[in-house]
């Protein structure tokens, strides 16, 4: 099929292959959103008199069909098509003739792809939020269940002070809750309707941008048409910043579990069905999913770097460079989502060996508690510290279970504040439900 910009010359084949790059493949994730956006755009064109009501119906019908054919694997984007926008327009033109040729009025592929990605991000970012809430819930249940299991707290990998499995798991729950603060901000920036920017400079038609925004359930129009284009990659980087934070948590969690499930510690045990083996060594059961969670955190950070650096040196307006921000965005969203799911699965199946946790305690772990006992008796802290340091071998063993139960100030092992975390979690769930419900009905209406 012809390119949209066909005007009598043929693009060099090598250049075509090079410029299209991965778009044909990656755009598969955008077919649905591209068609939705086109329906909204068509509805607006009809409202302002560019399309007739019947023409809108024809377009809507065909676009619905494309979505369905795509779901069945029957709608394919070819290299010659360049991208999803062309593939769809070509389909419409060859099936609907002039009606198809009208659809691109007042828009550019640039703002189309921004719209598609905005719709895609809006949806996937909420899925990530939902998976993060689920993970948070799993962590809080785990913390609740194992709140009384003592574990040696470490700093610098060395034995430090008594801790608990509950404290450990709840720490990650609170971390994810803070990530969701950032996610909501990224979502608010995402939830602006870009369409109408055209080539970054608007058009000499009286388009109704607010209508398109309403039809697609956006919170607002992204106002300045040049900013729309300037925000390409930028919003993606905001999203990836948030995803990086979540992946950092999962990476730390994975590092902890990998370490504490080494046979020498044995605090945690992963069931066989989560552990791939070795092709050479018959005894191996490896924490593969957790190692990949750790590595993929680095991948999402690299995705963020890629996007930030692609866009940093650009002048205002659209550039082809933006194309290369698609893969890192998609990879970031899909990876974070699947890693949250897998980590929740791992946590829900992971066993805690309380005996080994307790067996790991040695008297030195209680040295600091001993210092503070002396402080309570009136010895100045720094002196008490030196006394205990000088007679370390005399530090007595304590019962770790009792010890942690007596740490009752805010946020300590004996006072985890899980209710507080559950409240925050409930608020996050409420937010994400509300956010999703702010646009799903609009989209259903639009496609009805």
**Binding of its own copies at residue 312 (CB under 8 A)?**
yes
Stretch 387-446 residues interacting with its own copies (CB under 8 A): 388-390, 392, 395, 403, 406-413, 416-417, 420-421
| CB-nearer residue toward its own copies: 392 or 441 | 392
Distance CA 324, CA 233 (A): 9
Q: 163 and 404 in contact (C-beta within 8 Å)?
A: yes
Q: Which contiguous run of DSSP H or E holds residue 310?
A: helix 288-311
- Return the ∠ at Cα 411 (arms to 405 and 413), rounded to 5°: 25
Q: Judged by CB under 8 A, how many residues of this single chain contact its own copies?
A: 195
Nearer to its own copies, 16 or 447 (CB): 16
- Among 355, 380, 397, 437, the residue binding its own copies under the rule CB under 8 A is 380
70-99 positions binding its own copies, by CB under 8 A: 82, 85-86, 89, 93, 98-99
Kindly tell me which residue out of 53, 73, 315, 396 binds its own copies, with binding defined by CB under 8 A. Answer: 315
With binding defined as CB under 8 A, does residue 28 bind its own copies? no
Report DSSP letters for 313-358, one per residue. TPPSS--GGGGGGHHHHHHHHHHHHHHHHHHHHHHHH-EE-HHHHH
Q: How far is the CB of 61 from its own copies (least distance, A)?
A: 18
Q: Which candidate, 302, 294, 218, places its Cα nearest to that of 258?
A: 294
Taking CB under 8 A as the criterion, which residues in 115-144 touch its own copies? none
Given 284, 355, 397, 427, the residue binding its own copies (CB under 8 A) = 284
**Does residue 53 bind its own copies (CB under 8 A)?**
no
DSSP at 79: G
Residue number with CB closer to its own copies (226 or 447): 226
Q: Does 162 contact its own copies by CB under 8 A?
A: yes
Pull the structure tokens for residue 116.
């598609």
Rounded Cα–Cα distance for residues 364 and 400 (Å) = 12
Q: Is 19 helix (H, G, I), strand (E, B) or coil?
A: helix
Candidate residues 42, 131, 228, 435; the one interacting with its own copies per rule CB under 8 A: 228
Stretch that binds its own copies, among 28-36, 64-72, 341-349, 438-446 (CB under 8 A): 341-349
Q: Please give the DSSP secondary-structure letter assigned to residue 379.
A: -
184 forms part of the interface with its own copies (CB under 8 A)? yes
Per CB under 8 A, the list member of 1, 226, 442, 446 interacting with its own copies is 226
| Candidate list 163, 244, 278, 360, residue with the active-site label | 278
Q: Which two tokens stand for residue 266?
A: 């044995």
Q: Specify the stretch interacting with its own copies by CB under 8 A; choose among 34-42, 65-73, 120-128, 357-365.
A: 357-365
Active site residue 278: yes
Distant-in-sequence, close-in-space partners of 219: CB < 8 Å, separation ≥ 6: 188, 191, 192, 438
Asked if 231 and 223 count as a contact pair (C-beta separation under 8 A), the reply is no
**How far apart are the C-alpha atoms of 104 and 3, rounded to whole Å?**
13
**CA angle (429 as vertex; 426, 435 as ends), nearest 5:** 140
Active-site residues: which are they?
Answer: 156, 278
């Amino acid at each position: 099929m012809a390119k949209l910009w066909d005007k009598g010359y043929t693009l060099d084949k090598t250049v075509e292959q090079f410029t299209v790059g991965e778009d044909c493949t990656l755009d598969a994730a955008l077919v649905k959103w591209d068609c939705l956006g086109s329906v909204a755009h068509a509805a607006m064109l009809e409202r302002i008199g560019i399309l007739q009501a019947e023409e809108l119906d024809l377009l809507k019908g065909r676009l619905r069909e494309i979505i369905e054919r795509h779901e069945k694997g029957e709608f394919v984007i070819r290299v010659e098509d360049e991208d999803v926008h062309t593939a769809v327009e070509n389909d419409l033109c060859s099936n609907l003739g002039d009606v198809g040729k009208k659809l691109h009025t007042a828009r550019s592929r640039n703002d189309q792809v921004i719209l598609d990605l905005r719709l895609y991000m809006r949806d996937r970012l909420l899925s990530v939020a939902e998976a993060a809430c689920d993970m948070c819930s799993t962590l809080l249940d785990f913390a609740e269940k194992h709140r009384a299991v003592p574990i040696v707290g470490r700093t610098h990998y060395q034995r430090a002070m008594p801790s608990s499995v509950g404290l450990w798991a709840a720490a990650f729950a609170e971390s994810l809750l803070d990530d969701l603060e950032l996610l909501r901000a990224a979502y608010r920036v995402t939830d602006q309707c870009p369409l109408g920017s055209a080539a970054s400079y608007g058009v000499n038609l009286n388009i109704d941008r607010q209508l398109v925004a309403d039809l697609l359930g956006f919170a607002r129009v992204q106002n300045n048409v040049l900013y729309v284009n300037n925000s390409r990659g930028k919003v993606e980087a905001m999203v990836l910043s948030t995803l990086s934070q979540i992946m950092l948590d999962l990476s730390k969690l994975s590092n902890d579990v990998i370490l504490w499930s080494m046979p020498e510690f044995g605090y945690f045990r992963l069931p066989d069905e989560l552990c791939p083996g070795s092709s050479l060594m018959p005894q191996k059961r490896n924490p593969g999913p957790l190692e990949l969670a750790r590595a993929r955190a680095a991948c999402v950070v690299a995705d963020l770097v890629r996007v930030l650096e692609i866009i940093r040196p650009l002048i205002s307006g659209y550039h082809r460079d933006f194309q290369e921000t698609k893969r890192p965005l998609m990879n970031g969203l899909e990876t974070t989502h699947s890693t949250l799911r897998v980590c929740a699965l791992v946590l829900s199946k992971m066993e805690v060996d309380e005996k080994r946790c307790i067996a790991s305690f040695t008297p030195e772990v209680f040295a600091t508690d001993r210092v503070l006992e002396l402080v309570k008796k009136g010895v100045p802290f720094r002196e008490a510290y030196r006394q205990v340091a000088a007679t370390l071998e005399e530090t007595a063993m304590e019962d770790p279970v009792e010890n942690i139960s007596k740490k009752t100030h805010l946020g300590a092992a004996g006072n985890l504040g899980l209710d507080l975390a559950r409240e925050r979690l409930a608020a996050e769930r409420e937010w994400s439900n509300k956010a999703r419900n702010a646009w799903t009905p609009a989209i259903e209406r639009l496609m009805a």
